Chain A
Amino acid sequence: MVRALDRKLLRDLRRIWAQALAIALVLGCGIMVLVGAQATLRTLDGTLAAYYDRTRFAEVFSTLKRAPRGVLDDVALIDGVAQVEGRIATLALVQVPGMAVPATGQVISHASEGAVLNLPVLRRGRMPLPDRLDEVALSEPFAEAHGLIPGTQLRVILGGQSRELTVTGWVLSPEFVYALGPGSVMPDDRRFGILFMPEPAVAAAMDMTGAVNQISLRLMREADPRAVAIALDRLLAPYGGTGAHDRERQQSHAFMTSEMHQLSAMSTYAPPVFLLVSAFLVNMVLGRLIALERPQIGLLKAVGYSTREIAWHYLKLALLIGAIGIAAGWAAGFWMADAMIDLYAEYFRFPFVRRAANPSALVTSAALGLGVAVLGGGRTVWQSVRLPAAEAMRPPAPASFSRGVLDRALDRLALRQTSVMILRSILRWPGRAAITLFGVSASVAVLVMSYFMFDSAQLLGASVFGAANRQDLTLALSEPEGEEALLAARSLPGVVKVEPGYAIPARLVNGAAERLGAVQAHWEGATLARLVDDHGAEVALPPHGLVLPEMLARALDVGPGSWLEVELLAPPRETLRLPVTAVFAQGMGQEAHIAAPALFAALRSVPQVSQLHLSLDAAQRGALDARLGSLPAVAGLIDWVEVERQFQTLLRENLLTMVTIYTAIGMMIAVGVIYNAAQILLSERSYELATLRVLGFSRREVAYVLVGEMMMLTFVAIPLGWLAGTWLAQGLVHAVSSDIIQLPLAITRRTYALAGIAAAVAAFGSVQVVRRRLDRIDLVSALKSRE
């Protein structure tokens, strides 16, 4: 049998169901983000671990110029090394039927006896046979994008020679879960693919028989990757090693880690805001309910219910709201995890996904949800329930007002009396106004924090495409050449302008601090590929010395005036000592920059070119594309027009879904807060508002008292929310930033405006729902009695 008190509980809940639901939804949003992000992380983590394990993904990687296979035996002797794999890797141009510009292919030699590490996972067809020099297996996303089913013929320019290959199968590789082509900012399955070819074929084409240019290692359990990398570098230095690194700097792995960092940061930063707001709302709504039920509490006490029983009764209501929030949050969280994993699966290519819930996140979120209910409800419940029965049965003392300094100021303002009512109500219940302010600013802050990521991305885009790379096409040369290469390029069809580029891998050393990166030379007067900072401003290169991005400077602990040792990891393989002359703001980038004359003077050589940046006449693009496939000196190309188009598409597509989700979540807070505050205002003051109607105030004039108070608080809260949002965004940037990637902190006016508008719209909409109830108020019955 349901006890009478429990029946009352359900009736109470039914009476305030809309308010309870609004709170539960706010709480649910917080729990959804927590549970959803954690489940996604758990899934990605588990999937990755299983994938890496099954395919024996290496732990240390090194690229070198050329070393005899025999060196692998020496590598195996390094302390801590468990397994060694050597192979030949190179870039190739792939002519795909139906594509004018050749795609870039990462060619990887496939050992005759099968790979030891980084095993490709066969998805379709078979691997190329060791003795078939014209067979190739393609990475699945690339093959899929072009429909290159096994049996299809493919023209590839490898080592300066064009050859016809037959596709034998599709594979996925743990090294290319996130497959980024050279110079790309995002994966492009159409323009970048991995080509697994039998080792003899690659070796013959590259003239590398009996040699390797990539070595990767798997370590013993207790080995230190850094120590192994150092030993490996020492061993490979004579062979043109460009520096060994661990997984953290393996591109695909690094990108995934960074993505997971962001997710994890989001799941720590957003939920507390929602939980805190929910706690305040529980407090507000329960406080009002108890105030209304004071006489009943007195009665319950009079008939013998203990204080504890009554307190538990009201607390149960709070817990019930919490439980609804938890249930909704869990359900939405699982949905969110599913959706996110599907989304990730578009960019991260796994052969399988191991979906995993995160039981600890469920337990934590449940504890937090119930904690919020108890925290929010506890004090109010206990305070009111403790009243002696007789006192409880008397109505609470009417709100007292008194005139203070502020009122004299109000007099001077000569406000309308309805405006005075609004101000006095805020001043009389500052706690409640504070909760409303807090809630709406939290809503704005969450919106700012969500939107600003797109600002950062756009800023990055503007800087990368608008300011730094204005060229239409960049050609990467297979070997550095003299400046006469510019002339040759100028004579290609449709080329309007050519500018030189030169980059060389280098190890940057300052005492104990060192970083692998590159040195990039810049020519004076360059207009296509320029050095710009995160805000798109061109960085002037001093005539001497290095210019470093902030993050790199910090990592190396250098500033203007310091000296760096620069070990060049490609010919001429010298070690230079160069001064740092400036540091500039750039979030991504591990390159040291230098004026070309300064670099080549230091190298005592004539200027060299390793990249050609081209500006093109669009009309002759077809003619150029036809020639590009057959230029032996070109190892790869970046079609900037295409890259930018993809970047913008990606941003736009993500923008729409993400902005919708974030906006809904962020607005939910404002809805929960304003709806509840307005509802309480109406319930407390319906008598007063009905009186205004009786006195001849129109519906609109009366609604002004309700809507005006809520919107005034909202408008005060919006700037506070901007501040809080900026602060949250800073925290997020800080949490997400890694050695390799730093999100630029840029919040546009548009973001502030959108966040403000979204919160204002949510507030206005919610208060309108309550206003409709005010409009329907029965004047006569409102006059009959005081509540």
Chain B
Amino acid sequence: MILQPEASFPARPVFRTEGVTRVYRTGAVEVRALRGIDLSLREGEMVVLLGASGSGKSTLLNILGGLDRPTEGRVFFRDTELTHATEAELTAYRRAHVGFVFQFYNLVPSLTARENVALVTEIAARPMPPEEALERVGLGPRMNHFPAELSGGEQQRVAIARAIAKRPDVLLCDEPTGALDIATGAQVLEALHSVNRDLGTATVLITHNAVIQRIAHRVVVLADGRIVRDEPVTDRLQPAELTW
């Protein structure tokens, strides 16, 4: 287990983007969701992405996660360029390196918590046992429950266990607490925080809740498809210390 001292990250970035632009075309209408994003994310770093609705947060996250490609500009994962990767290469990339957590959990309803995690560990190169991943998010005892039998927060923690079980290099979370109340949200953040701390997984976390930025190493704010603020968090807090 790698314990990262908070200030000194290795120079090599996990992600690097150069002038990433994403234009959506629907008929005659063009929406410029991203307008030249230059960003780099270091190993082990936890970044919170803030911004108004429609500012392009999800678009950026999806490009980093290999679910989407930029219209212009370049994206690198470590030394690999994702910009022109094929569908199959992106799939392999997601499979090997990326853990996703979404607002709506995206669990498979017909699989139990353990099976949802096993779904991913079965196709990963060096996964941890599903049981261990679930213990990590505090759900060991609920392993054999189906999603419908779990609360929203529990479901989201299953989703986190599923995302981390394959020991991903990056964890991409799009409003993981968006559908949860404060207390439950805090539990979920705790799980993400401990994963970042204990496993050193670089994490990008989108949220609408500005309070949450205090658990990150760095805050990036988007507005209208551009980065308008990018600064380190000087007074980091544990999730439990957040005051909502």
Contacts and interface: CB of A to CB of B under 8 A. Distances in A.
Given A399-B109, A428-B110, A688-B108, A694 B100 contact: yes
Interface in B37-77: 58, 62, 65, 67-68
A402 B123 contact: no
Contacts of B100: 694-695
Nearest to A693: B91
Contacts of B144: 403
A779 interface: yes
A783 B146 contact: no
A400 B109 CA distance: 8
B90 to A, nearest CB: 9
A780 interface: yes
Nearest to A427: B110
Interface residues of A, number: 31
Interface stretch (B12-20, B112-120, B198-206, B213-221): B112-120
Given A403-B144, A779-B67, A780-B67, A695 B119 contact: yes
Interface string A634-669: 000000000000000000000000000000000000
A697 B68 contact: no
Contacts of B106: 687, 691, 694, 783
A421 interface: yes
Contacts of B98: 696
Contacts of A695: 94-95, 100, 119-120, 162
Given A420-B111, A688-B108, A697 B122 contact: no
A786 interface: yes
B109 A688 contact: yes
Given A418-B119, A695-B100, A398 B109 contact: yes
Interface in A689-726: 691-699, 701
A701 B122 CA distance: 12
Contact of A694 (B87, B92, B94, B110): B94
A417 interface: yes
A696 B94 contact: yes
Contacts of B148: 398-401
Contacts of A424: 110-111
B88 A698 contact: yes
A477 B112 CA distance: 85
Interface of B: 58, 62, 65, 67-68, 87-88, 91-92, 94-96, 98, 100, 102, 104, 106, 108-112, 115-116, 118-120, 122-123, 144, 146, 148-149, 162, 174
19 contacts: A400-B146, A400-B149, A401-B109, A402-B146, A403-B144, A417-B111, A417-B122, A420-B110, A421-B108, A693-B91, A694-B94, A694-B100, A695-B100, A696-B120, A696-B123, A698-B91, A780-B58, A783-B106, A785-B104
Interface of A: 398-403, 416-418, 420-421, 424-425, 428, 687-688, 691-699, 701, 779-780, 783, 785-786
Give 5 nearest A-B pairs by CB, closest first.
A696-B95, A424-B110, A696-B94, A417-B119, A691-B106
Given A403-B112, A417-B116, A693-B91, 15 more contacts: A398-B109, A399-B110, A400-B148, A400-B149, A417-B108, A417-B118, A417-B119, A417-B122, A420-B111, A424-B111, A688-B109, A691-B108, A694-B100, A695-B94, A780-B67
